[in-house]
Chains A and B, each alone.
Chain A
């Protein structure tokens, strides 16, 4: 055996960790190799010196210092544990993924369901329509191809340009109800003063030309684009009101004039439509419409208009009928003014 190999085993030889066979060979080699004997002696001296090193005693108060650090450490540890609770259950990756997906789907469906009733309500009949008519409107709208919510919202957008009340032709009855749909969303401003107006409507038709319901609806809201379901619903309801097609079909001419006979509508309905149109034209809001017992008789309107359009609006009201008392003067042009209009038909 070579010295290099033997010197690699000296450490184990010193520790009595060699088996008998290798130990015997090492003994034999050491008898003949002075270099390896010297190496062994140096190794023995080192190990002897290291073995003789004392085991040091821990500093005094070692245990007390550990206790002190424990109290500090576990105060902080308790806070961390409270904040970050470790997950003690090991979940398979597939199960975890499925769970996350399920939670995500439930979350998304929940959001969709919250949005659906809102859009649904907007697409259907307005809140001011009595229950028996509301169903008819809803059925008609559903029968027509339902469109997106955004279309309906566009339909309800107020006209940007102010319009004179007298120039507003009476729209088809059902369409006149549709723009009232945003009414529930209107937040009345309690700070706005209310002016009460009693309006005795004239029996004579105040409309110069009554056209086809579709045309009428277009004229009723010239700056908006009613959606197809709403228009078709209006037409259907108008037909129902006329007696389910007893009249000849009305075809508008190219000039937009109605060819068919005007529908027989209560004067309150026409006044209501005209007022709504005027309010929207002025950039105001129809806050509420109260109806009397069937047949539909609009009784009380609450509207809010800009103070700047108050005079024009009052003049329009005068054209529609007689007022129980003249409109009070408004000494300001800024802000909004609320009018509570009672409608009644002259006998």
Chain B
């Protein structure tokens, strides 16, 4: 069933339709949260928050944009707010003191059966890939929130420029230039690693 049909069903009182939407988008939203926040558990909490917000607001959803864009907009705003929270910053600080330890997310990637982990052969290669992943994650986290949003949505989540503009509320030209600067920053941060 299409998103639109599920939304109509939800708005007509069939709340169970929302479960289908959750199942359809949970991985995308969780992944976005993970790469934005850089923490598996924080991403889990944030993703739940996002769907709860969507649940409470879906009744007023007027289809001025697609559900996917609307949900991503909620996700980006939730992640931004979470980054600003004092508790989150404190946890990140203590995590960095703990030598940026192995996050569950990394293990999950390793066993996920896709991406880089598939190409890893020996334990040494696996360790090297794991280290690269950590560096990439750190480099993304080090970006300013606006740039981070664009990199994650475009290069990890695969959204188009138009979708980026719709999610972030920026003009298309601003999206392009800002994304170019974000990528250039990442290239500088990861030079010699990739």
Residues of A within 8 A of B95 (CB): none
CB distance from B20 to the nearest CB of A (A): 10
Number of B interface residues, CB 8 Å? 47
With beta carbons under 8 angstroms apart, the residue of A17, A45, A56, A77 that contacts B108 is A56
| A62 nearest in chain B by CB position | B26
With beta carbons under 8 angstroms apart, the residue of B48, B161, B194 that contacts A62 is B48
| B49 nearest in chain A by CB position | A69
The answer to whether B186 touches A56, judged by C-beta atoms less than 8 angstroms apart, is no
The answer to whether A53 touches B183, judged by C-beta atoms less than 8 angstroms apart, is no
* Interface locus among A8-16, A97-105, A223-231: A8-16
Q: Is B19 an interface residue (CB 8 A)?
A: yes
With beta carbons under 8 angstroms apart, the residue of B30, B56, B109, B156 that contacts A58 is B30
With beta carbons under 8 angstroms apart, the residue of A43, A59, A69 that contacts B30 is A59
Give residues of chain A (34-87) contacting chain B, Cβ–Cβ below 8 Å: 39, 42-43, 45-47, 49-59, 62-63, 65-66, 69-70, 73, 77
Residues of B within 8 A of A77 (CB): 56
Residues of B within 8 A of A46 (CB): 155, 183, 186-187, 190, 194
The answer to whether A57 touches B177, judged by C-beta atoms less than 8 angstroms apart, is no
Give residues of chain B (115-163) contacting chain A, Cβ–Cβ below 8 Å: 115-117, 132, 136, 151, 155-158, 161
CB distance from B68 to the nearest CB of A (A): 14
Docked CA distance A57–B29 (Å): 9
CB distance from B158 to the nearest CB of A (A): 7
Give residues of chain B (41-76) contacting chain A, Cβ–Cβ below 8 Å: 43-44, 47-48, 51-52, 55-56
Give residues of chain B (154-194) contacting chain A, Cβ–Cβ below 8 Å: 155-158, 161, 176-177, 179-180, 183-184, 186-187, 190-191, 194
| A49 nearest in chain B by CB position | B194
CB distance from B151 to the nearest CB of A (A): 7
The answer to whether B161 touches A15, judged by C-beta atoms less than 8 angstroms apart, is yes
Residues of A within 8 A of B112 (CB): 54, 56-57
With beta carbons under 8 angstroms apart, the residue of B27, B56, B176, B177 that contacts A56 is B27
The answer to whether A70 touches B108, judged by C-beta atoms less than 8 angstroms apart, is no
Docked CA distance A11–B31 (Å): 23
| B158 nearest in chain A by CB position | A51
| A45 nearest in chain B by CB position | B194
CB distance from B116 to the nearest CB of A (A): 6
CB distance from A233 to the nearest CB of B (A): 71
The answer to whether B55 touches A70, judged by C-beta atoms less than 8 angstroms apart, is yes
Give residues of chain A (2-42) contacting chain B, Cβ–Cβ below 8 Å: 7-12, 15, 17, 39, 42
With beta carbons under 8 angstroms apart, the residue of A10, A42, A56 that contacts B31 is A56
CB distance from A10 to the nearest CB of B (A): 7
| Residue of A51, A55, A56, A63 with most chain B CB atoms under a 10 A cut-off | A56
A residues apposed to B, CB below 8 Å:
7-12, 15, 17, 39, 42-43, 45-47, 49-59, 62-63, 65-66, 69-70, 73, 77
7 closest A-B pairs by beta carbon, nearest first, are: A11-B180, A54-B115, A50-B155, A58-B30, A58-B26, A56-B31, A54-B114
28 contacts between A and B (CB under 8 A): A7-B184, A11-B176, A43-B183, A43-B187, A46-B183, A46-B187, A46-B194, A49-B136, A49-B194, A50-B151, A50-B155, A53-B35, A53-B156, A54-B109, A55-B28, A55-B157, A56-B105, A57-B27, A57-B108, A59-B44, A62-B26, A62-B30, A63-B19, A65-B48, A66-B48, A66-B51, A70-B52, A77-B56
Other A-B contacts than A51-B158, A56-B30, 9 sampled, CB-CB below 8 A, are A7-B184, A8-B177, A43-B187, A53-B115, A54-B114, A56-B31, A57-B108, A62-B30, A66-B48
B residues apposed to A, CB below 8 Å:
19, 22-23, 26-31, 34-35, 40, 43-44, 47-48, 51-52, 55-56, 105, 108-109, 112, 114-117, 132, 136, 151, 155-158, 161, 176-177, 179-180, 183-184, 186-187, 190-191, 194
